[in-house]
Amino acid sequence: MTYFSQIPPEEQKPKVIGFIGFDGLTTLDLTGPLEAFANAQLRGQPKGESSCYETIVIAAGKKTFVSQSGVVFTARHTLATAPQVDTIVIPGGSALRDSETGKIIAAWLRSRAKTTRRFASVSGGIYALARSGLLDGLPVTTHWKFAQNVARQFPALHVNAAASFVKHESFYTCGGGTAGIEMSLALIEEDYGMRVALEVARELVMSLRPAAGQELQEDSFDYQPGAIDRLAELPAWITSRLRQNLSVEVLAERACLCPRHFSRIFKQTFKSTPADFVELLRIREAARRLEGQRDTIESIAASVGFKSAEVFRRAFERRFGMTPRQFQKRSPKHLDSWPNTRAA
The domain ranges of the chain are 4-201, 226-344
Examine the pLDDT at 296 and tell me if it is beyond 90.
Answer: no
For residue 152, the model assigns a pLDDT of: 95
Domain spanning 4-201: which superfamily? Class I glutamine amidotransferase (GATase) domain (3.40.50.880)
Task: Please give the average per-residue pLDDT across 145-162, as a whole number.
Answer: 92
Task: Indicate whether this model's pTM tops 0.95.
Answer: no
239-263: b (≥16 Cβ within 10 Å) or e: eebbeeebebebbbbbbbbebeebb
Percentage of the chain beyond pLDDT 90 is 54
Average pLDDT (125-144) is 96
What digits encode the pLDDT tens for the residues 42-57? Answer: 865 555 568 899 999 9
* Residue bearing the bigger pLDDT, 164 or 72: 72
The verdict on domain 226-344 having CATH code 1.10.150.20 is no
Mean model confidence pLDDT for the chain: 85
Across 140-144, 178-182, 214-218, 298-302, least confident range: 214-218
Burial 46-56 (b: 16+ CB within 10 A, else e): eeeeebbbbbb
Span 68-76, mean pLDDT?
Answer: 96
Q: Which residues pair with residue 172 across a beta bridge?
A: 120, 167
- Residue 84 clears pLDDT 70, i.e. is over it: yes
Mean pLDDT of 82-100: 93
Q: Distance between alpha carbon 330 and the CA centroid of its chain, in Å?
A: 40
pLDDT band at 213 (very low <50, low <70, confident <90, very high): low
- Give the residue with greater pLDDT, 93 vs 257: 93
DSSP string, 220-255: GGGTSPPHHHHHTTHHHHHHTTTTS---HHHHHHHT
pLDDT (0 to 100) of residue 99:
80
Q: Span 122-127, mean pLDDT?
A: 97
The confidence band for 8, taking pLDDT boundaries of 50, 70 and 90, is low
Give the mean model confidence (pLDDT) for residues 25-39: 96
Q: Percentage of the chain surpassing pLDDT 70? A: 84
From residue 71, how far is each of 15, 23, 88, 123, 146 by CA, in Å? 27, 10, 21, 19, 23
Average pLDDT over residues 19-41: 96
Q: Model confidence over 215-227: pLDDT tens digits?
A: 444 444 443 445 5
pLDDT at 11: 53
Residue 344 CA to residue 324 CA, distance in Å, equals 23
Could you tell me the pLDDT band of residue 198, with boundaries at 50, 70 and 90?
confident
| Residue-level pLDDT at 5 | 39
Instruction: Quickly state the pLDDT bin for 165 (edges 50, 70, 90).
Output: very high
Number of CB atoms found within 10 A of residue 25's CB: 30
pLDDT of residue 319: 86
